[in-house]
Amino acid sequence: MTKTPQKPPAKRGRPPARSSPEQTRPPAGTEIAPLEVTPSGSALEDEWILLHYQLRNPSDRTLHSYARVRRIRMDEPHRTLELSLDDSHVDPDSVLDTHLQVPPFLPVGAHEKADLELRVPRRISKLARGERGAAPRMQQQDLTGFQTIALKVAYSDTPFYYKPGRESIGQQLRAWAKGRVELSHSAEEIGWRSHQIPSGSAR
Residue range 140-159, pLDDT digits in tens: 899 999 999 999 999 999 99
Contact assessment for residue 62 and residue 105, using Cβ atoms and an 8 Å cutoff: no
The region of weakest confidence among 123-132, 159-168, 179-188 is 123-132
Burial group, residue 16, by CB count within 10 angstroms (0-12, 13-18, 19+): exposed
What pLDDT is stored for residue 194 in this prediction? 73
Q: What is 36-125+138-196's CATH number?
A: 2.60.40
Is the pLDDT at 24 greater than 60? The verdict is no
Q: What is the mean pLDDT of residues 103-115?
A: 98
What number is the average pLDDT over the span 68-90?
A: 96
Whether the pLDDT of residue 176 is over 90: the answer is yes
H/E/C letters for each residue in 80-116? EEEEEECCCCCCCCCCHHHCCCCCCEEEECCCCEEEE
The top-scoring range by mean pLDDT among 17-21, 129-133, 183-187 is: 183-187
